[in-house]
Amino acid sequence: MRIILPILLLCSTLALAQDDEFRDFRNKKDNFSKMQQKDIRAELASFLMAGIDESITKLPLKSVPVKSYGSNYMTWANDQIQVTIKTGIFDPSKHKIMLEEKHVVKVDGKPYYGNYGEMPRVTIESITVMMGKDTVVIPPSAYFDLYEPSFFYQDKDGSSKTRNGVFISNDGRSYYIYLLNTAYKGNEYTWVIQDKKYLRRVVDFDVLK
């Protein structure tokens, strides 16, 4: 019995360790570290946690104020731009889920971001951008694989706060729509608009690892 018990404990420990080991298919091509455009990279570094090492000499960008919000949306607006992000509920029955060691690693054949390894719960349903009378189209391909967006967090006093924002470039040509979720090791989603057109996204994960 004295020999069997340690062996059983060892086997149990190994089984748990193996359960935590599953492949990470997430692509890093949209990471801040891959950004080649120097002007955009410098401005991203002023607010991205992924760019904190490059933020020392960067001044904060001006931001667009929050206009309204609810449990499933947030709107920022000023005289030049209005941005609304809406969220939805993930329905696993409408998607093809790939599992590995009981962990979710792909949705509809593609890696995803948010609560990687777990079943997604919250989706980004739409991102609507109006600049004057012009609509800036943010294609679904820019957010279809991004999950668990978070609009608020509770501070130590129980008050609702947000770390998200819409930031304005120094020359006024670009806007950065930014979402941060500090859960799941930290995820940052940023969409860049330049000259009234969607330019690209920047996606970083495990920024608090």
Give pLDDT tens digits for 46-73. Answer: 999 999 999 988 899 999 999 999 999 9
Q: pLDDT (tens digit, 9 = 90+) per residue, 107-152?
A: 999 999 999 999 999 999 999 999 999 999 999 999 999 999 999 8
7 in any annotated domain: no
> pLDDT of 104-116, one tens digit each?
999 999 999 999 9
pLDDT at 12 over 60: no
Residue 88 lies in a domain: yes
Predicted confidence at residue 182, as pLDDT, reads 87
Whole-number Å distance between alpha carbons of 78 and 82: 7
User: Residue 112 domain-assigned?
Assistant: yes
Specify if 1 maps to a domain: no
pLDDT (0 to 100) of residue 83: 99
Which two structure tokens, joined as six digits, stand for 133? 């009378």
Say what the pLDDT of residue 20 is: 57
CB 49 within 8 A of CB 188: yes
What's the token pair of residue 187? 């995820």
Any idea what DSSP says for residue 142? G
Of 86, 100, 147, 87, nearest to 121 by C-alpha is 147
Question: pLDDT category, 13, cuts 50, 70, 90?
Answer: very low
**Residue 182 in domain:** yes
Residue 10, in any domain of the structure: no
DSSP state of 60: P
187: in domain: yes
Threshold 0.75, pTM exceeds: yes
CA distance 18 to 13: 9
Q: Strand 160-161 vs strand 73-77: parallel, antiparallel, or unpaired?
A: unpaired
Strands (E), 36-115: 62-64, 66-70, 73-77, 82-89, 97-100, 103-107
Per-residue pLDDT, 173: 97
Own/partner long-range contacts of 4-7 (Cβ < 8 Å, ≥24 apart):
none
Total structural domains within the chain: 1
204 versus 14: which is more confidently predicted?
A: 204
Can you give the residue range of the structural domain that contains 156? 22-205
Q: What is the mean pLDDT of residues 163-184?
A: 96
Specify the pLDDT at position 4.
43
What per-residue confidence (pLDDT) applies to 105?
98
Does a structural domain hold residue 13?
A: no
Report in angstroms the alpha-carbon separations of 85 from 33, 122, 176, 196.
Answer: 25, 13, 13, 17
Mean pLDDT in residue range 184-197: 97
Q: List the one residue out of 191, 201, 131 whose CA is nearest residue 164.
A: 191
Residue 93 pLDDT more than 90?
yes
Q: How far apart are the first and last CA of the chain?
A: 41
